[in-house]
Structure 1
Amino acid sequence: MLEHSTFYIRDFYMIFVKRKIALKKTLFVLLLFVSILTHAQSVRKYSNEFMNIGVDAAALGMSNAVTASTGNVNSGYWNPAGLFRIEDSEASLMHASYFANIAQYDYAAYAKKIDDRSAWGISLIRFGVDDILNTTQLIDSQGNIDYNRISLFSTADYALTFSYARKSQLKEITYGVNAKVIRRIIGEFANSWGFGIDAGLQYQKDDWQFGIMVRDITTTYNVWAIDEDKFNEIKDAVEGQNQDLPEDTEITLPKAQLGIAKKFEFHYDYTLLAAVNLNMQFARTNDILASDAVSIDPAIGFEFGYTDLVFLRAGVGNFQNVVQLDGSTKVNFQPNIGLGFKYRGIQVDYALTDLGDQSAALYSNIFSVKVDLSIFR
């Protein structure tokens, strides 16, 4: 009896030590996060905004409420902890057009299981506007209009992300990190390099799923190189305008997403995934819940599935307080819908965003494809 009691005490002690170590690590990260926020209160609210558009038509159809439920190759963007759920290796592609096809958004990703405790992934995002007319030299030194002096240039933002996910010693918890390299180019006028880190965590208990994702947890620092000769061309194009060089550095503040999701099964053939996100920015914005410390934009998404073959999706998010011409305030929101098909490891998804034109954003047609590469073996 004494021997059994000794084993019980030892096991209890080991569990206590492991949980204490995990708690210390969590507290350390939270303290680091708070100190960063305190230090960064003076920087701009919006930077590298192309990184907040989203990827994967399946997630966009659910209004991005996938922080807790994501578990495929696209988890590198939504929550790197979800990469652990892939079974072998996966690849994903997405294309979307914005602003009446003026801007093109492209995304590609690959992820692979390392072993039964970890996985890794890589992804690339490009958001750009091509063939922009440069008319700064349209009028020559004699005051004559010369259309041959018009040139074309492109402006594009790139993000290369390396992701890693691992299962913790507590089997219900997985965590992941992203290392991001940001490249932004404005023709020959200016370009920048940036670097940032994201961190995510997921917890599963029975049919419930919980997740947290902190973007730019160390802040993302962009350094710009501006061609002064090209800038002088812009400065002289409109008298009295653009007389000073813009800032050559910018810092992206951290953002956090908290998510909860649950999947329901009906008669084995039908499923319903319900998910809620709280998207937080640590500054005052037009979000529906806003303060000087934090602003919160909720999002709700649903996915109805039939035999893991056909999926219907809907969601609503992007709740904003918008000031009208008469000075009153109106709450705008963005509804989305989506459709998906999955067959033998190949999944094709479609999303129509901003259904009904309830927000200031324009609707967009988004397509994506995801492939389980193990089917080729």
Structure 2
Amino acid sequence: MFLINYKLLKYKFLLILIIFPLLLNAQVFRNYSNEFLNIGVDAAALGMSKAVVATTNNVNASYWNPAGLVGIEDYQGSLMHASYFAGIANYNHAAFAMPIDYESALGISVIRFGVDDILNTTQLIDSEGNIDFNRISLFSAADYAFNIAYARNLIFKDVKFGVNAKIVRRIIGEFATSWGFGFDAGLQFERNSWQFGIMARDITTTFNSWAINEEEFDKIKNAIPGQNQELPETTEVTKPKIQVGVAKEWRVGRYLNLLSEVDLNIRFEQSNDIFSSKIGSIDPAVGFQLDYDKLVYLRLGVGNFQYITEFDDGKSLSVQPNFGVGFNYKGIQVDYALTNIGSVGNALFSNIFSITFDYSFFRN
């Protein structure tokens, strides 16, 4: 019986380790909140290490830079799926965009990042030490983002502007839920065949307001004596970030084209980025895309340059390479990326798949 109880207690403590870090994310002015929104969408962009802020021009521009939505000519849709941690966590994205007129466009999208079927063992052992497996239940910890984007050409030549409003919904089973709201804004312009882009995320800061289920919290807060006695704070703020990019496309053969872009991801805080100070930090990303007559694509990217502290307090530089391929035929583009997005070091690589539909081809 002791061995059985020992194993069950291990599962109970595992549940606590899962829930409390999620609850404790709801702190005031945390440096990292709503991190699932930084993962990215579209295997084509991820294959280029997210270096697309200056060149994105399809339905997925709703995420990367809403100004790029002006580039669409008809209805477009996009779907993406990615799995993490051997399939424990799943990331899904769906988007739709359409032109309003020759000068403006509209896009909507939804993102879900979640861990499902988590065992809730808080009621497995009662106060008298009795075990009842019927008390085990399942719950999900999921983050959602609902986005609506608008873009239009400005009066200046080759200048596009876009704005994205997002609603964030986060759910941790019956333990806690939150609502959040924020804005992104972006610009794109072209000069002498060079393309430039700037994307400001969470420009007004994004606020999340948490509601903690005190009844459920009471079931686990005393599991570890002397720890987790107080409810966490219920307001979470995501700080602004800026991405700037410059890109150029070269024709390298009769049917071959090479697109290259360099982006700088800027955060107003000191971090482990390769360029960092008390004022802010900069993480560069470089992406390349070689295409054959806009039918077959090969992509390479390098990004997420981070300094890692070793056990001897030394520093080493971690770099994240990415690879991708794509195929476009009659309005249907299928893309694949091999990447370990969202992590550094020796993390397992992730397989990313996405598909984009352009209705203009079907009209013909």
1:266-322, Cα deviation, whole Å (9 max, x unpaired): 233000001101001111111111111111100000000001110000001001111
Distance 2:222 2:348 in 1: 34
Change (3 A) 1:249 1:366: same
Structure 2 contact 152–162 (Cα < 8 Å) conserved: yes
1:275-286 equivalent positions in 2, closer than 5 A: 275-286=261-272
Q: Find the counterpart in structure 2 of residue 117 from structure 1.
A: 103
Matched with 1:14 is none
Higher Rg? 1
Partner letter of residue 328 of structure 1?
Answer: G
Q: How does 1:141-290 map to 2 (within 5 A)?
A: 141-290=127-276
Paired with 1:314 and 1:172, the residues of 2 have a C-alpha distance of: 28
Is contact 1:335-1:358 (8 Å) kept? no
Which amino acid in 2 is paired with 1:124?
Answer: V
Amino acid at match of 1:51: L
Give the number of the structure whose residues are more often helix, by fraction.
1
CA displacement, residues 21-45 of structure 1 (integer Å, 9 cap, x when unaligned): xxxxxxxxxxxxxxxxxxxxx8211
The residue that corresponds to 1:139 in the other structure is 125
Q: Is the counterpart of residue 80 in structure 1 residue 66 in structure 2?
A: yes
CA RMSD of aligned residues (A): 1.4
Q: Distance in 2 between matches of 1:358 and 1:248?
A: 29
Counterpart position of 1:374: 360
For residues 359 and 203 of structure 1, the distance between their equivalents in structure 2, rounded to whole angstroms, comes to 36
- Alpha-carbon distance between aligned partners in 2 of 1:229 and 1:358, rounded to the nearest angstrom: 37
1:223 and 1:98 map into 2 onto residues whose CA distance is 27
In 2, the alpha carbon distance for the partners of 1:251 and 1:124 equals 21
Query: 2:139 is aligned with what amino acid?
Result: F
Match of 1:301 in 2: 287
* Counterpart residue type for residue 106 of structure 2: W
Moved more, 179-188 or 360-369: 360-369
1:84 counterpart SS class: helix
Please tell me the residue identity of whatever aligns with 2:101.
Answer: D
Any idea what the Cα deviations from partners look like across 1:37-81, whole Å, max 9, x if unmatched? xxxxx8211010000000000000000000001100000000000
The aligned amino acid for 2:30 is: R
Q: Which of 25, 33, 38 is matched with 1:47 structurally? A: 33
Normalization by structure 2: what TM-score?
A: 0.90
For these two proteins, the number of residue pairs brought into alignment is 335
Deviations 1:127-150 (A, max 9, x none): 000000111222112112322221
Paired amino acid for 1:133: L
| Unaligned 5+ runs, structure 2 | 1-27
User: Larger deviation: 160-169 or 235-244?
Assistant: 235-244
CA–CA distance in structure 2, aligned partners of residues 186 and 354 of structure 1: 25
For residues 267 and 116 of structure 2, what CA distance do their matches in structure 1 show? 31
Q: Contact conserved, 1:254 with 1:281, CA < 8 A, in 2?
A: yes
SS in 2 for 1:237: coil
Identity score, percent: 62
2:17 is matched with none
Secondary structure at the aligned position of 2:86 is classed as: coil
Matched residue type, 1:253: K
Please give the alpha-carbon distance, in whole angstroms, between the structure 2 residues aligned to 1:107 and 1:288: 30
Structure 2 counterpart SS, 1:234: helix
How many angstroms does 1:247 deviate by?
Answer: 0.9
Q: Deviations over 1:167-223 (max 9, x none)?
A: 011121101000000000000010000000000000111321000000000000110
Query: Which amino acid is the alignment partner of residue 177 of structure 1?
Result: V
Give the 3-state SS of the residue equivalent to 2:220 in structure 1.
Answer: helix
Matched, 1:350 2:336: yes
Alpha-carbon distance, 1:360 to partner: 4.5
d(CA) in 2 for partners of 1:164 and 1:339? 29
CA distance in 2, matches of 1:236, 1:146: 20
2:93 corresponds to which of 98, 103, 107? 107
AA aligned opposite 1:248: T
* Map of 1:18 onto structure 2: none
SS at match of 1:44: coil
Structure 1 alignment gaps of length 5 or more: 1-41
Deviation at 1:358, TM superposition (A): 6.9
SS in 2 for 1:335: strand
Conserved 8 A contact 2:304-2:344? no
Q: Is the 8 A contact 1:310 1:341 kept in 2?
A: yes
